[in-house]
Amino acid sequence: MTEYDYWKIFPRMPRQVSIGDITVRDGFQHLEKFISTRAKVFYAQEMIYAGCRDIEVTNFGNPYLMPQFADAEEVLRALRSDRFRNSCAKRGIDYDEIRITAVTIREGAVDRAIALKKQGIGPDRCLMMVSTEEEHHFANSGTTLPDYWREAERCCRKCADAGLKMCGTVSTIWGSPIAGATDLKDAVEFTKRWLEIGATDIEHADHDGSASAPEVYRYFSMILDAIPDTRLHIAHFHETKRVASASVLAALHAGITQFEATLGGLGGQPANFLDDCPVPGTGDYYYKDPRYVGLVCLEDLLVQIDEMGIAHGYDVDRVLWLGRQLERTAGKRLRSEAVINGRTLKGGHMEFARPGLKKVKAKLGEAAGQKLPADWKSLAELPERFRP
């Protein structure tokens, strides 16, 4: 007989997950509109109130290239303020459980994070990034892979000495938007290299929606066979073909417990146009239509995870409300379906019921809840030609 218990079919699938929010950094970096410092702080703080404990809030890269993050220190200062700490305490949130991350692609950005840490406003965690495909890596970092690995090794030591964590990102795992197909084995090796030089955890990234469910399952099975501690691994999926939810499910089946997402499914390359002015960003966009790129949508992901009965720690309704507010902030319709259609309500939507059912059943002599004619057998007798 077929096994119907989902958890027995996929015994490595977790009962509880952690979902980090990276809206304020990865989400906002792609918008061709400057998001005010007040709005950035608002969404970061509100996501924490809604249950987020891992949050990525800025990029310490050159603000000339990415002016969206010219206010990095102001955002961090607000999140480190006594006012916010007290606000967390009033809501029963342990501020020390919150982990704030800043992206630090190059060594100068890591040095800046460490200097701010000494001032009491720095992040808890830095993030550096390698791509297994060198053209993509060069486009992001401006240097070669061997040279960058040396730099990353120095930065891991610096962070450890300063009491900062370092997340090592491995990108182009399932393919590169520049050079095409890649080898999963390279990503497994790069993961080991990050841990060898001192990274504290690894973001496994599909940065252009190349991932497919079978290959996601295969890759994360390879990763957990090689490095079984699930606390080290974070799945990061982009959405370009409306198949990222399948990738999430495949990662869950493999046993991954940590994910990242953005409100509204925002995200993508750093903008090369902001407000009324072209800006460098990372150059030309490598996709045809900026409306159809971004990360896994947090609102929809939470509904998916929640309805699977997997614990996640978020107030889903509050996140859906935030998603609706963000559409007003962005000034456009975003990619969440859940903010429009909501959650699946177990009690249904009785306001849409057609009146008169009770009267009709009574007139026909049927009992309330009766679904079959009274003279029929309680169980169907399947014709022999249809039986298994």
Q: Residue 314: inside a domain, yes or no?
A: yes
Q: Where are the alpha helices (DSSP H) in the chain?
A: 6-9, 37-49, 72-79, 82-90, 107-119, 134-141, 145-162, 184-197, 213-226, 244-254, 298-307, 316-330, 338-341, 357-363
DSSP state of 69: G
pLDDT value of position 208? 85
Residues 235, 381, single domain; the answer is no
Read off the amino acid at residue 113.
A
Burial of residue 211, with CB atoms counted within 10 A of its CB: 0-12 exposed, 13-18 middle, 19 or more buried:
buried
pLDDT tens track of the chain, all 388 residues? 899 999 999 999 999 999 999 999 999 999 999 999 999 999 999 999 999 999 999 999 999 999 999 999 999 999 999 999 999 999 999 999 999 999 999 999 999 999 999 999 999 999 999 999 999 999 989 999 999 999 999 999 999 999 999 999 999 999 999 999 999 999 999 999 999 999 999 999 998 889 999 999 999 999 999 999 999 999 999 998 889 999 999 999 999 999 999 999 999 889 999 999 999 998 888 888 877 889 999 999 999 999 999 999 999 999 999 999 999 999 999 999 999 998 888 888 888 999 999 999 999 999 999 999 999 999 999 999 999 9
Residues 372, 324, single domain; the answer is no
Burial 295-334 (b: 16+ CB within 10 A, else e): bbbbbbbbbbbbeeeeebebebeebbebbeebbebbeeeb
Q: Residue 271: inside a domain, yes or no?
A: yes
- Are the C-beta atoms of 206 and 248 separated by less than 8 Å? no
Q: Residue 347: inside a domain, yes or no?
A: no
Residues 283, 333, single domain; the answer is yes
pLDDT value of position 348? 84
Evaluated on CA atoms 311, 25, 155, 78, the torsion sign reads: negative
Q: Residue 346: inside a domain, yes or no?
A: no
**How many CB atoms are closer than 10 A to CB 251?**
27
Residues 288, 229, single domain; the answer is yes
Q: Residue 242: inside a domain, yes or no?
A: yes
pLDDT value of position 67? 97
- Are the C-beta atoms of 181 and 166 separated by less than 8 Å? no
Q: 366 is in which domain, residue-wise? A: 357-386
Alpha-carbon Rg for the chain in angstroms? 24
- 261 forms beta bridges with 21
Residues 378, 271, single domain; the answer is no
* Rounded distance between C-alpha atoms, residue 335 and residue 25, angstroms: 17
pLDDT value of position 366? 96
pLDDT value of position 345? 82
Residues 87, 233, single domain; the answer is yes
Residues 265, 380, single domain; the answer is no
pLDDT value of position 111? 98
Residues 283, 371, single domain; the answer is no
Residues 92, 31, single domain; the answer is yes
Q: Residue 143: inside a domain, yes or no?
A: yes
Residues 203, 69, single domain; the answer is yes
Residues 251, 377, single domain; the answer is no
Q: Tokens for 339?
A: 């903010």
**How many CB atoms are closer than 10 A to CB 370?**
11
Distances in Å between the alpha carbon of 265 and those of 31, 75, 240, 259, 373?
A: 12, 22, 10, 14, 49
Number of structural domains (the chain) is: 2
* Rounded distance between C-alpha atoms, residue 90 and residue 53, angstroms: 16
pLDDT value of position 115? 98
Rounded to the nearest 10 degrees, how much is the dihedral formed by the CA atoms of 217, 222, 226, 228? Answer: 10
Domain holding 109: CATH number? 3.20.20.70
Q: Residue 352: inside a domain, yes or no?
A: no
Read off the amino acid at residue 317.
D
Q: Residue 197: inside a domain, yes or no?
A: yes
- Are the C-beta atoms of 148 and 141 separated by less than 8 Å? yes
* Residue 52 CA neighbour count, 13 Å, CB half: 30
Residues 271, 361, single domain; the answer is no
